[in-house]
Amino acid sequence: MEITINGSTTALPQDPRVSLLDFLREGLHLFGTKKGCDQGACGACTVLVDGERILSCLALAVQFEGRDVVTIEGLSAAGTAGGEGLHPLQQAFIGCDGFQCGYCTPGQICSAVGMVAEAKRGSPSHVTADLAAAVTLTRNEIQERMSGNLCRCGAHNGIIDAIQQVLSAEVLS
């Protein structure tokens, strides 16, 4: 029983009770992914599985056998040539004051990457006026689509700014 985390294949935990979040943090010492509420209510634990954003606290690690998981550590490594730098969204969060304490930030950034992919394939949201039309990521659309990620420091405006900045530079693919 194996799982791929940030490009490396590793054995899943023996005990099926271990959540994907606890496996990442306690099993693999990938502390970028945060535990806010442990009950699906905050989004701090957001990671990408086969490119889709999910909550790692609400799922068991064994449910993801054979799947490809990317955490904030994987995003920053993939975003730069040497693997040492920052993902463009991380850079934009710094430039736009997209955080204060930083606790929600890894979840926000993983969520934003998944959100952009959803919009690019035309997935509508609650605020999309016409279900048949192409999706334009207006500020209102980004707010709705990012509503699963809470920020206790109230950095939401900076977060949206950072996402818009990267979208307008079309660095995200």
**How many residues of this chain bind ligand FES (CB under 6 A)?**
23
* Angle (CA) 106 155 100, round 5°: 70
Whose tokens are 């818009």? That residue is 164
Binding status of residue 153 toward ligand FAD by CB under 6 A: no
Query: Could you tell me the maximum CA-CA distance found in the chain, to the nearest angstrom?
Result: 47
Binding status of residue 81 toward another protein by CB under 8 A: no
Binding status of residue 41 toward ligand FAD by CB under 6 A: yes
Q: Which DSSP string corresponds to 37-104?
A: SSSSSS-TTEEEETTEEEEGGGSBGGGGTT-EEE-HHHHHHHTSSSS-S--HHHHHHHHTT--SS-SS
* Binding partner at 36 among ligand FAD, ligand FES, another protein, none, C-beta below 5 to 8 Å by kind: ligand FES
Binding status of residue 123 toward another protein by CB under 8 A: yes
Q: Which is nearer to another protein, 68 or 94 (CB)?
A: 68
Q: Which is nearer to another protein, 71 or 128 (CB)?
A: 128
Give the footprint of ligand FES on residues 101-140 (CB under 6 A).
101-105
Binding status of residue 16 toward ligand FAD by CB under 6 A: no
Binding status of residue 40 toward ligand FAD by CB under 6 A: yes
Cβ contacts of 55 within 8 Å, gap of 6 or more = 40, 43, 45, 46, 148
Structure tokens at 80: 């730069």
Binding status of residue 64 toward ligand FES by CB under 6 A: no
Q: How many CB atoms lie within 10 A of CB 116?
A: 18
Site residues (CB under 8 A) for another protein?
Answer: 15-17, 19, 38-40, 43, 46, 52-55, 58-60, 62-63, 65, 111, 114-115, 118, 121-126, 128, 131-132, 143-145, 147-149
